Copies of this chain bind each other. A is one copy, B any other.
């Protein structure tokens, strides 16, 4: 016996979850971009905006979780539908962490805003941040369009970020070595490199979760 209308309602609820992930994703990407802008060119207003946004993203994610659990409890989905809902929860959680990492970047930006950072580490961070921005966008596309090719591509991008992180670590250590007075603030730049690496890792994991959702195989 096919109960038509309840299924239509169910699809609507799944679609709603997907839209919510999209909203959280866009807010996260925005917060990330602002955090990077703030890092390279500090300004109080966008800095505050990022800190507020990361809390808002946390809240949106909380509601997404609650909605997702309610759909599971009331609709008793199985197989791919269940995996889709689980993935919404997971993606939301990774985006939330990305939002907090963006606010970590802003906190560092505030600490070092008056320092004159050596060019080499700064260039490493610039390169990393560009790839990472692209990765956040790709991870959202992979999940929302359920596109395995984009999801797989994220592994290559993450490798690039890892290599740049190693380069940044080397360049930062060298700058510290050359000019001791830079140590006190270059330790913070080291953290930013690490935050970027962790955001890239989250984006890659969103891709992996998407592949798992589609194929049921861990990448």
| Interface positions of A (Cβ within 8 A of B) | 65, 69, 72-74, 76-78, 82, 86, 93, 169, 172-173, 176-177, 180, 183-184, 187, 190-191, 194
Contact = CB atoms under 8 A, between A and B. Distances in A.
Contacts of A72: 69, 72-73
Given A73-B77, A93-B93, A173-B187, 4 more contacts: A72-B73, A76-B76, A177-B180, A190-B190
17 contacts: A69-B72, A69-B82, A69-B86, A73-B76, A74-B76, A93-B93, A176-B180, A176-B183, A177-B180, A177-B183, A180-B180, A183-B183, A187-B187, A187-B190, A190-B190, A191-B194, A194-B194
Given A69-B72, A74-B76, A86-B69, A169 B187 contact: yes
Nearest to A176: B183
A77 to B, nearest CB: 6
Contact of A65 (B74, B77, B86, B183): B86
A206 to B, nearest CB: 15
Nearest to A180: B177
Identical subunits present: 2
A93 B191 CA distance: 24
A32 to B, nearest CB: 19
A54 to B, nearest CB: 15
Contacts of A82: 69, 73
A190 B77 CA distance: 46
A93 B157 CA distance: 25
A11 to B, nearest CB: 17
A180 B178 CA distance: 9
Contacts of A183: 173, 176-177, 183
Contact of A187 (B65, B74, B86, B172): B172
A174 B86 CA distance: 47
Nearest to A75: B73
Closest 10 CB pairs of A and B: A73-B76, A72-B72, A176-B183, A173-B183, A177-B180, A72-B73, A177-B183, A173-B184, A173-B187, A69-B86
A190 B186 CA distance: 12
